[in-house]
Each structure stands twice: as structure tokens, then as C-alpha cells.
Amino acid sequence: MSPRTPRFVTRPVTTPRTAAPARVRFAGFGARFAVAAGLMLPVLPVEATAQAQGQIQSQTQGQAPAAVPVQAPAQAVLAGGKLEAKYEASLAGIAVGKGQWAIDINEDQYSATASGGTAGLLKAFAGGSGSGQSTGRVVAGALVPSNYQAVTTSAKKSETIKMLITPGYVKEFSIEPEPPLDPEKIPITDAHRRNVIDPMTGSLMRVGGTGELMTPDSCRTAASIFDGRMRYDLKLDYKRMESVKAEKGYRGPAIVCAVYFTPIAGYVPDRAAIKYLAAQRNIEVTLVPIAGTRVLVPYRMVVPTPLGVAMLEATEFVTTPAPAKAVAKTN
């Protein structure tokens, strides 16, 4: 045994970290995936707020150009919209979780609230639940987060993550109870808190301009995400168009994007699940619009795992536009 114990290690220095079998670790992933059905997995990046600020004036939410012609007639503009959705999560075709998502976007602010948990057989031996909320401002059509909170509960513990966000920077964040320091984890630095958005805002993909929403270019974007624990990058690319039909609510066109995950900090590099996800090239997200907005959100997400395909899919997707406002003619 070593003559002294390193500060962050409570076991003998010569004792290696015991690795759980891969299937055991991914069974745990199944439970976490089910809870994430309520928190909405952050796979829908928008441009980081700091980057969006430089383009914000040209990305109005369906409004006419600033230079309105003299004697122009009154016209309707998009005032926002709402979404009430329910999702089911499955792993290898077996139901493992359910979740609900409510989004409200208006002219100057937005909110997204979600909850979910394990279901079916998985609930009997790996029960868990979660809830989350993100709020912020709408600035010239761009979503600018200000607060984020996520609460997860399992049979063994409950955890709360909170973040206070200024444009492009996480000013404060906390995890309660505070997790123990892990010397194998890449630490979060101040630089990792800059030019980022929270994961729930990252699930709301705002498409600039006034043209078609669902085009290949809508998928071609990237984002920097910080969830209070882990910093990672997400990149999307276009795959195909298809039609979807919820049991209740939306039926119509959808755009399918490939998702590429790159961990940056706040994780253990040797963790099998992280390495597996980072190597994947078959993760997909299917996006559909919130009525009355230029925002696309997840209808379905597919993630390959060693245990089978993990899927999060909407069963109900009811979206309604806010009442349109008339812009008075100018003289």
C-alpha cells in the first residue's frame, strides 16, 4: 500500500477503479434515458446566444423587414405559440419511461417545463423521475436563456441542478447535494461556461429568416451545451424528410437530422457510455414546428445502444399559435 493516500482518493492508491460489466452500465443508462424523457434530451441545438447576438437583427420572428413601405396595409405577424406534448421512451422496443413537455413562446419571453420518469418493468427495479424548467427572453426572435433547473430522483438519491445564465455565460451554477470530487473527471473551467446554452433551451431550435422552416439548412447547425455538470458540443446535419402522425395533435411533415455528440469537460474519459455515444454516427432527431413560431422541437429521437435502440417519441403533440396581432399601417 502506498505510504500516503492522495487527497481525492479514499481507497488505497494501488486499488484500481472497479469497472461494472458493460451491460450493467448500459442498463443504468436505460433508467437515465427514461428519466431524460421528461427532461428532454438536449439534442436540438440552437446557435449559442453569444453567436446569435451578432445576427439577431436579421432573424425576426416572421415579421416584415424594418423598412415598411409607406401606406402599407395592416398585416398579421407571428406572436408566438404553445405546445403540450406527451412522450414515451423505449429501449429495444420495451417501454421504459414516459414524459410531458409544455412550451410557451411569446413576443418577449419563453418557458419550457418538463417532467417524466421510468415506466413498465424498468420501474420495478430502477425507478426514477425527473423534472426541469428553462426560462428566458425572446430578443428579436432569438431565445436567450436566463434560468435553468433540473431535479432527478431515484431510489438512492435526489439531485437538483440550478443555473443562472446571462447571455452566453453561465454566471452561477450549483448541484445539490454537492457531488464528491473525482480526480478522473475533466474539470469544468470558467471558459467552459462561456458561449453556451442550457440543454432545455438547446431543445428549441429557432430557424432564422422568413422562408421555409424545414429545409436541409435547418439541420446544419451546431451548439455548445452546459447542463450544470457536463460541457459538450452537438452538431446536426440533414438526413431526410418524412411525415409523422401523433395519436393526438400534430400530423404532417418532419425533418430528420443526424446528431453528433462531442464531450468537452465534466466527464470521465474512460467511461464506456460516453465513449460509445461519442463514436455513434446513427443518432437521429426528428423535428416538427411549434405553430405560430419559427421554432422546431423534437418529435422523435433515436439513440443506438448495446442493448438495442433507445427511442423517445411523441404520442401527443398539440401545438397552437398565439393570436396574431395586426401591425398598423404607417403614413
Cβ atoms within 10 Å of 247's Cβ, excluding its own:
10
Reported as a single tens digit per residue, the pLDDT across 3-16 is 444 444 333 333 44
State the amino acid at position 123 in one-letter form.
Answer: K
Residue 228 confidence (pLDDT)? 93
CA 181 to chain centre: 26
Pairing assessment for the beta strands 231-245 and 222-226 based on DSSP bridges: antiparallel
3 state DSSP class of 85: strand
Nearest in space to 9 (alpha carbons), one of 186, 269, 183, 177: 183
Residue 123 confidence (pLDDT)? 62
- The arithmetic mean of pLDDT across residues 51-71, rounded, is 31
Residue 242 has pLDDT above 50, yes or no: yes
CA 231 to chain centre: 13
Residue 300 has pLDDT above 60, yes or no: yes
Give the whole-angstrom CA distance, residue 173 versus residue 258.
30
Cβ atoms within 10 Å of 187's Cβ, excluding its own:
10
Helix, strand, coil content of the chain in percent (nearest 5):
15, 45, 40
Give the whole-angstrom CA distance, residue 314 versus residue 312.
7
Residue 80 has pLDDT above 60, yes or no: yes
Cβ atoms within 10 Å of 226's Cβ, excluding its own:
28
Residue 283 confidence (pLDDT)? 93
Sign of CA dihedral 63, 65, 66, 71: negative
Least confident range of 141-145, 247-251, 293-297? 141-145
Question: For residue 257, which phi and psi values (nearest 5 degrees)?
Answer: -120, 140
Nearest in space to 255 (alpha carbons), one of 243, 241, 244: 241
Nearest in space to 303 (alpha carbons), one of 279, 283, 274: 283
Of the chain, the end-to-end C-alpha distance in Å amounts to 86
Residue 31 has pLDDT above 50, yes or no: no
Strand segments, DSSP code E, in 194-250 are 205-206, 222-226, 231-245, 248-249
Nearest in space to 101 (alpha carbons), one of 115, 89, 81: 115
Collect all residues with Cβ–Cβ distance below 8 Å to 94 and sequence separation of at least 6.
120, 121, 122
> Which is more confident, 156 or 257?
257
Most confident by average pLDDT, 24-28, 290-294, 305-309: 290-294
Residue 250 confidence (pLDDT)? 96
Collect all residues with Cβ–Cβ distance below 8 Å to 275 and sequence separation of at least 6.
269
